[in-house]
Amino acid sequence: MKVAIYARVSTHDKGQDPDLQLKPLREYCKQRDFEVSGEFVDIGVSGSKDRRPELDKLMDLAKKRLIDCVIVWKLDRFARSLTFFVNALDEFEKLGISFISYQENLDFTSSAGRLMAHIISAMACFERSLIAERVKAGIANARSKGKQIGRKPIDPILTEKIIELRNQNFSFGKISKQLKLSVGVVHKTLKNLKPKDAENSVF
């Protein structure tokens, strides 16, 4: 089995040594007669980031199906986000790649490990549902108190200027530059005009 070892340390100036993770993983691979295709180590990179230089290289190797398994010293070295971890596991499964976490003794190549993966996935789904419910409740509560949710409406004077410039055949880009607005705001403003406002507009 061809495996890729992944390790990560948050800082490189506080005595954190990636070899503390790499040595036991190398020994583990040796004991199980795994062929190590590469070692990928991110130093000074937070685990909360989905994009990391060495992790990106590992994922590229996985997508090319040049490895059969990914091994990490501990789950939090690979991911801090449950959602990211579940998405990565799902991608590995589609690619036919196994995942092993040494410290937690989690081997997703086994039937028990696959069951654990399903449990983790269900937990992530539940977490997303809870977050969505809290966000909806927060928005509803804010609106009940008269608070503005989302972007504030554009000033009516600016709306009139946008219409005027558009009627002079100014492009969206030129209008945005002249009024110092984004092209998206200009486009949305014109799109959302009421019929009576649009009657005299040529756009």
Nearest to 86 by CA among 184, 145, 78, 141: 78
Does residue 175 contact residue 165 with C-beta atoms inside 8 Å? yes
Catalytic residue among 10, 37, 81, 121: 10
Continuous H helices in the chain: 19-31, 53-63, 75-78, 82-95, 111-144, 156-167, 172-179, 183-191, 195-198
Q: From CA 192, how far away is CA 145, in angstroms rounded?
A: 26
10 is catalytic: yes
Query: How many CB atoms are closer than 10 A to CB 58?
Result: 22
Which own/partner pairs from 149-158 qualify as long-range (CB within 8 Å, at least 24 positions apart)? 154/181, 154/185, 154/189, 158/189
Catalytic annotation, residues: 10
